[in-house]
Structure 1
Amino acid sequence: MTTPPGTVESTAAAAGLESEFEHTPVPQTHRKSLLTVSAVWFGFPMILTNAVPGGLVVALLGFWQGLAAIVVANLIMFVYVSLLSYRAGKTGKSFALQATETFGTAGYAIASGFLATVVVGWFAFNTGATGASLNKAFGWNETLVVAVAGVAFIAVTYLGIKALSWLGAIAAPLFIVAVIIAIAIAAQRHDLGQIVNFQGVGGGAMTFGVAVTSIMATFADSGTMTADFTRWSKNGREAVLATVTAFPFASLVAQLSGGLLVAAGAIASAQTAGGDFTPILTGVNNPLLNALVVVFVVINLGSVCTHCLYNGALGWSHLTRSKMRLLTLVLGVVGVVVALLGAWNYFVNWLAFLGVIVPPLGAVLIADQIILRKRLADRAESKIRPTAFIAWAIGAVAAVVVHFGAPMLSDAVVGLIVGLVAYLAIERLAGTAAAGVGS
Structure 2
Amino acid sequence: METKDYEHGTVPKSERKHWISIAAVWIAIGIDLSGAFLGVELAAGMDFWPAIGATLVGSVLLGLLAMACAYVGAATGLTTAMVSRAVFGKIGGAVLALAMSISLIGWFAVQAGFFGSNAQVAMLELTGIDWPVAVFTVLGGILMLLTALWGYRSISRLSTLAVPLLLILLIVGIVVAFATRGSEALTADTAAVYSFGGAVSLVMGIFVLGVVSAPDMARWAKTPKQAMAAGFFGFLFGNSIIIIVAVILSKLLNETELMTMFFVLGLGGFAVIVLILAQWTTNTTNAYSAAISFSSISKRFSRRTLTIIGGVIGIIVAVLGAADWFINFISAIGIVIAPFGGVYIANFFANRKHTRFEHHSDVPRITVLPVIAWLLGIATALMTTQTSDGLGFGLFSLTLIPALDGLLVAFVAALAFEVFVRRRAQRAVSIDGIEI
TM-score (norm 2): 0.87
CA displacement 1:218-246 (0-9 Å, x = unmatched) = 01112100111111111101111211332
- Take 2:243 and 2:317, find their aligned partners in 1: how far apart are those partners? 28
CA displacement 1:389-413 (0-9 Å, x = unmatched) = 0100111101101112257621101
User: How do residues 346-361 of structure 1 correspond to structure 2 at under 5 angstroms?
Assistant: 346=325, 349-361=328-340
- Take 1:375 and 1:330, find their aligned partners in 2: how far apart are those partners? 35
CA RMSD of aligned residues (A): 2.3
Match of 1:8 in 2: none
Q: Percent same amino acid at aligned positions?
A: 25
Say which is worse superposed, 345-354 or 150-159, in terms of deviation: 345-354
CA displacement 1:283-304 (0-9 Å, x = unmatched) = 25x5xx3322321332121121
Aligned partner of 2:143 among 149, 152, 165: 152
Distance 1:95 1:282, change over 3 A: same
Distance 1:207 1:351, change over 3 A: closer
- Matched residue SS, 2:254: coil
Aligned partner of 2:287 among 309, 330, 340: 309
- Matched residue SS, 1:24: coil
Say whether 1:244 aligns with 2:232: yes
User: How do residues 11-410 of structure 1 correspond to structure 2 at under 5 angstroms?
Assistant: 15=1, 17-137=2-122, 138=124, 139-192=130-183, 194=184, 198=187, 200-203=189-192, 205-263=193-251, 265-268=252-255, 273=256, 276-283=257-264, 289-321=267-299, 322-346=301-325, 349-375=328-354, 381-403=363-385, 404-406=393-395, 409-410=400-401
- Matched residue SS, 2:366: coil
The code of the aligned residue for 1:86 comes to Y
Say which is worse superposed, 163-172 or 151-160, in terms of deviation: 163-172
Say which is worse superposed, 136-145 or 88-97, in terms of deviation: 136-145
The code of the aligned residue for 1:392 comes to W
Structure 2: give runs of 5+ residues left out of the alignment.
Answer: 125-129, 386-392, 430-435
CA displacement 1:131-155 (0-9 Å, x = unmatched) = 1112234233323222222221111
- Matched residue SS, 1:390: helix
Distance 1:250 1:346, change over 3 A: closer
Q: CA deviation at 1:375?
A: 4.7
Verify the 8 A CA contact 2:69 2:345 in the aligned structure 1. Answer: yes
Say whether 1:424 aligns with 2:415: yes
The code of the aligned residue for 2:70 comes to S
- Take 1:422 and 1:200, find their aligned partners in 2: how far apart are those partners? 42
- Matched residue SS, 1:107: helix
Structure 1: give runs of 5+ residues left out of the alignment.
Answer: 1-14
The code of the aligned residue for 1:303 comes to T
Say whether 1:415 aligns with 2:406: yes
CA displacement 1:52-71 (0-9 Å, x = unmatched) = 32343344332222222112
- Matched residue SS, 1:405: coil
Q: CA deviation at 1:108?
A: 0.2
Q: CA deviation at 1:361?
A: 0.6
CA displacement 1:68-89 (0-9 Å, x = unmatched) = 2112111111111110101211
- Take 1:199 and 1:385, find their aligned partners in 2: how far apart are those partners? 53
- Take 1:259 and 1:347, find their aligned partners in 2: how far apart are those partners? 17
CA displacement 1:161-190 (0-9 Å, x = unmatched) = 011112212222222222233223322432
Verify the 8 A CA contact 1:154 1:306 in the aligned structure 2. Answer: yes
CA displacement 1:71-127 (0-9 Å, x = unmatched) = 211111111111010121122111011111111122200111101111111111111
Say which is worse superposed, 238-247 or 388-397, in terms of deviation: 238-247
Distance 1:259 1:351, change over 3 A: closer
Verify the 8 A CA contact 1:60 1:200 in the aligned structure 2. Answer: no
- Matched residue SS, 1:397: helix
Distance 1:51 1:147, change over 3 A: closer
The number of residue pairs the alignment matches comes to: 411
TM-score (norm 1): 0.87
CA displacement 1:240-263 (0-9 Å, x = unmatched) = 121133221222222221222244
Q: CA deviation at 1:320?
A: 2.2
- Take 1:167 and 1:200, find their aligned partners in 2: how far apart are those partners? 40
- Take 1:22 and 1:100, find their aligned partners in 2: how far apart are those partners? 13
- Take 1:410 and 1:328, find their aligned partners in 2: how far apart are those partners? 34
The code of the aligned residue for 2:191 comes to G
